[in-house]
Chains A and B, each alone.
Chain A
Amino acid sequence: MPEAVAAVGLAWATLLLLAGGVVLLRSRDTLHRVLALDVLVSIVVALLTILSYLRDVSYYVDGALALGLLSFVSTLVAVRHVLRGRPS
């Protein structure tokens, strides 16, 4: 993949990350926050993948995998807390 394409992709993903930050700031309650963080992690995963294309090394993708795993577990736990932490 040409380096210029990956660089543009990286810049784009960074802008998306900022937009994701706005989503997080605008979130009104816990579930909105969980959703926003889920989206943010996805953007970071994409960002790391593109970074690995740009630098031509693989371990950024491994980092992204670890991050994705953490995010998945924490989403489940946070959602559980929303359901159990309140009277139902």
Chain B
Amino acid sequence: MGTALDVLGACLLGLGLLLATVGLYGVLRMPDIFDQLHAAGLVTGPAVLVILLAALTTRSADIVTSAALLFVFVLITAPLSGHAIARAAWLRPGPDEDGPREAETPGAASLLGEGMRTLVAYDGSDSAKRALELAAQVFGPAGSIAIAHVVQPLGEPDFAGSPEVEDPEQEELLSEARAAVARTGTPAVTLRRRGDPAAELIAAGAELDADLIVVGSRGRGAVASALLGSVSAALAGGAHSPVLVVGPSATFGHGPIVAGIDGSEFSLDAARIALALDRRLERGFRLVHAYTVRPIPGVSVVPDARAELAQVDEQKAEELLAGVARELGIPEEETQTVRDGSEPSALVVLARDLDAALIVVGSRGLGAVRAAVLGSFSTSVLAEASCPVVVVPPIVPGSALG
């Protein structure tokens, strides 16, 4: 009897933990809050209940009593809090696309005319000013510019006061930005949004069908941006158009547009975007494959073998580059391989030597935390580059901007 109880207890405990694991995995992988709620319900409800059921097998009256009380409590509160969150997600004027939205700015798309549609995120910071200036200079003549400012309603005390009143600070910032763009002779339209900056900018970019989103970056490292939240990183992962990130010390060089490839689909799409940008800006083009020599333990004691391996690596890199160049129809003199200790820094150093106008890289769209842990090529390039960087999010087709 005792053994049977023990086995039952172990099974219940295992089942509960398994349910919790599956639920957590779901929360991590599901795209939006409603799907996540479904998975979270598995953790907050069944998983906890099954683990509490295992109390029956402990043979301790105290534990069984307390657990029974908690069991009833969880049975009531888990669905209630889940429902409260779902209701708020549905009713709020929020960044999630599935819920009903507030009335959009009417005909925002028609605000932007012919040519290249550039959306600039502006928050009044120095990096945003630099980004705006650069966008007006470089992309203004090629088309039209929209300036978006996003007020973050949470995070500052914003009690149910008068939500309809215009934000005077927002108006001031936007008119300042419009004046700055007007000085370069480009007309600009302005967009007022409220909510999570990254989500609102992604939505605004999609509405305007923007060809490019321009943001300033404070130049935080990967770990800091994962912890503190980086708008540019979030945009680079989820925007529907290429994102131009202007770092704190980035300047637009006189050289070519440098596109980094590694042979993956993402990098091919990025290269196509770079070609399209080159057609608009006519700066010259350079397709670059940055690679590292694989460190093989033990090989370093045999110098000949090391040189031979390096040669093999170089040959492979050349072949990959030639293949991509053929596919995209790029002449050989516009391609180049470069080798360094790490691929991002090789690309960055080359761009500096060429006095590159822009670096274009693809992004796998990893979240901020995974990018910080696994290392993201685009994040490293962003942190080190001396010129603005265009990050092409994974959902942007290479034919965009065509």
Contact = CB atoms under 8 A, between A and B. Distances in A.
B41 to A, nearest CB: 10
B51 A87 contact: no
Nearest to A41: B44
B153 interface: yes
A58 B282 CA distance: 74
Given A16-B20, A85-B160, A30 B51 contact: no
Contacts of A65: 66, 69-70, 73
A22 to B, nearest CB: 6
Contacts of B52: 49
Contacts of A30: 154
A22 B93 CA distance: 26
Given A53-B54, A61-B67, A6 B13 contact: yes
A68 B70 contact: yes
Nearest to B27: A23
B81 A82 contact: no
Interface string A36-65: 101100110110011011001111011011
A26 B44 contact: no
A28 B154 contact: no
Given A28-B234, A31-B92, A46-B17, 10 more contacts: A1-B10, A5-B9, A35-B27, A46-B48, A53-B58, A79-B87, A86-B154, A86-B158, A87-B93, A88-B92
Interface in B81-104: 81-82, 84-85, 87-89, 91-95
Contact of A58 (B36, B44, B65, B195): B65
A25 B226 contact: yes
Nearest to A74: B81
Which secondary structure dominates where chain B touches chain A? helix
Contacts of B16: 46
Interface of B: 5-6, 9-10, 13-14, 16-17, 20-21, 23-25, 27-28, 33, 36-37, 40, 43-44, 47-48, 51-52, 54-55, 57-58, 60, 62-63, 65-67, 69-70, 73-74, 77-78, 80-82, 84-85, 87-89, 91-95, 153-154, 158-160, 163-164, 194-196, 198-199, 226-227, 234, 367-369
Contacts of A61: 55, 63, 66-67, 69-70
Contacts, number: 191
A11 B55 CA distance: 18
A22 B17 contact: no
Given A52-B63, A61-B63, A69-B73, A87 B164 contact: yes
Contacts of B54: 1, 53
B27 A82 contact: no
30 contacts: A2-B6, A9-B13, A12-B21, A23-B24, A25-B368, A28-B199, A29-B94, A29-B195, A31-B85, A35-B37, A35-B40, A38-B40, A42-B78, A43-B43, A45-B48, A46-B17, A49-B51, A57-B62, A58-B65, A59-B66, A61-B63, A61-B67, A61-B69, A62-B66, A65-B73, A72-B81, A79-B85, A79-B87, A79-B88, A86-B154
